[in-house]
């Protein structure tokens, strides 16, 4: 089974609502705060409270800023903060993508080069925390596939550093250019630039596949809408992969050879292939004609996602074509179970063959987070998780 994170912006989405929903879902607050502390941005704290909206109880989060702060920050300044942080490489890369998308949208709206853009609202400490926090949340969740319902953007007017602007603000529409949205919504700014960037850069917008919900969280916003609860619902679940016929009609292996692409391009291609629906993706070094070193980028995709994965490989690499052929595989029934260790809770992924558990492996990202929290080697947390798994007789 593969993890799925399903977002429903019932009342809208903003960065603080995303973090609040994640905490309500069960993301450890201590781990989130520890990661954000590495940003080197002084003078902020997370204030987390319980609130309700239209009878739905959830978590509300405010980023409290104390002391003098810059009036605005250039994109280069913000990217330098992220690059110098202690976030994981994948979280840093995601945060940079979010800020670059916002910067490009602001530049188009104001008709200036992106290098001249100075962020006001988005450059403030609370928005930097929100954007980087969103990347940290997905890191702590093990980078599940994220699907979100197309949002309603709101209506009316909103006051910004540039004066009153129509809702949705121009930057929000630019950020969501090419993405499905729905007109209408509550009388106010339902989707902020930070929320729009999360949807556009970290999510697929549309309907999720059938999945089994495991955890549900509600992030409660500040505004009160007259016609709906102002909540962002976040559901973490598992998607069962369809069984594969012996002749291999249900799965396709896709591959392309590259002799002019960097490892960074290949890594990005893997991420996009997985986001497009691949169940696995990998890169292997090869020697190509005339002795040239090269890379083979490959992915395993269900038939329904085959074309989307192929397009992702073409977009993100220098290839002129993608090979595709059906494959068969023996697939274990899979599941997740949490175990309690002296370092905290850790998920263990297990595989079942003929009714018996034959594989069990602690989730690396969970173990890494616990190791960082307690200042111990990763191998100690891995060993503790396996010991707890065996002690539970799982």
> How do residues 267-279 score in pLDDT, each as one tens digit?
999 999 999 999 9
Q: For the residues 41-69, what does the mean pLDDT come to?
A: 91
Q: In sequence order, which ranges of the chain are alpha helices (DSSP H)?
A: 15-25, 29-36, 75-83, 89-110, 125-140, 170-175, 193-202, 263-275, 306-316, 364-374, 378-391
Which range has the worst mean pLDDT, 28-37, 227-236, 243-252, 370-379? 243-252
Share of the chain above pLDDT 70, in %: 94
**Residue ranges of the chain assigned to CATH 3.30.70.1380:** 251-327
pLDDT digits (tens, 9 = 90+) for 344-391: 989 998 888 877 888 899 999 889 999 999 999 999 999 999 999 888
So what's the pLDDT on residue 159? 78
Quick check: pTM over 0.95?
Answer: no
Listing DSSP states for 165-209 in one string gives: EESSPHHHHHHTTTS--BS--SSSB-B-HHHHHHHHHH-EESPPP
So what's the pLDDT on residue 317? 93
251-327 to CATH, choices 3.90.180.10, 3.30.70.1380, 3.30.310.40, 3.40.50.1470: 3.30.70.1380
333-391 to CATH, choices 3.10.20.300, 3.30.450.20, 3.40.50.300, 3.40.50.150: 3.10.20.300
Asked if residue 123 has pLDDT above 70, the reply is: no
**Pair of tokens at residue 94:** 């995601």
So what's the pLDDT on residue 67? 76
Angstrom distance (rounded) from CA 54 to CA 225: 9
Q: For the residues 173-198, what does the mean pLDDT come to?
A: 93
Confidence of residue 394 (pLDDT cuts 50, 70, 90): low
**Residue ranges of the chain assigned to CATH 3.10.20.300:** 333-391
Asked if residue 122 has pLDDT above 70, the reply is: no
So what's the pLDDT on residue 183? 86
Angstrom distance (rounded) from CA 228 to CA 391: 47
So what's the pLDDT on residue 249? 47
């Amino acid at each position: 089974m593969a993890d799925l994170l399903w977002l429903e912006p019932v009342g809208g989405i903003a960065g603080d609502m995303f973090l609040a929903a994640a905490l309500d879902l069960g993301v450890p607050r201590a781990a989130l705060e520890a990661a954000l502390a590495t940003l080197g941005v002084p003078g902020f704290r997370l204030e987390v409270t319980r609130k309700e909206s239209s009878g739905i109880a959830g978590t509300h989060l405010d980023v409290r800023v104390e002391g003098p702060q810059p009036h605005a920050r250039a994109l280069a300044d913000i990217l330098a903060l992220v690059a110098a942080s202690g976030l994981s490489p994948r979280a840093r890369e995601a945060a940079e993508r979010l800020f670059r998308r916002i910067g490009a949208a602001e530049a188009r709206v104001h008709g200036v080069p992106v290098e001249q853009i100075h962020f006001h609202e988005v450059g403030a400490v609370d928005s930097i925390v929100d954007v980087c926090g969103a990347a940290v949340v997905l890191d702590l969740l093990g980078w599940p596939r994220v699907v979100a319902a197309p949002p309603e953007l709101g209506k009316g007017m909103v006051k910004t550093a540039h004066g009153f602007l129509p809702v949705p603000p121009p930057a929000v529409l630019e950020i969501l250019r090419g993405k499905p949205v729905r007109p209408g919504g509550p009388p106010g700014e339902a989707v902020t630039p930070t929320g729009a960037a999360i949807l556009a850069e970290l999510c697929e917008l549309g309907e999720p596949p059938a999945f089994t919900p495991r955890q549900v969280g509600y992030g409660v916003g500040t505004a009160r809408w007259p016609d709906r609860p102002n909540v962002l619902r976040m559901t973490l679940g598992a998607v069962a992969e369809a069984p594969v016929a012996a002749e291999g009609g249900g799965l396709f292996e896709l591959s392309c050879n590259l002799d002019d692409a960097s490892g960074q391009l290949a890594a990005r291609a893997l991420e996009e292939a997985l986001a497009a629906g691949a169940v696995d993706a990998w890169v292997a070094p090869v020697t190509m004609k005339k002795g040239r070193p090269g890379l083979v980028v490959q992915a395993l995709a269900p038939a329904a996602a085959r074309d989307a994965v192929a397009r992702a490989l073409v977009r993100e690499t220098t290839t002129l074509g993608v090979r595709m052929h059906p494959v068969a595989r023996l697939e274990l029934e899979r599941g997740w179970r949490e175990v309690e260790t002296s370092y905290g809770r850790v998920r263990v992924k297990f595989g079942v063959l003929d009714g018996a558990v034959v594989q069990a492996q602690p989730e690396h990202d969970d173990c890494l987070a616990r190791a960082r929290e307690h200042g111990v080697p990763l191998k100690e947390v891995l060993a503790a998780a396996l010991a707890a798994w065996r002690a539970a007789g799982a």
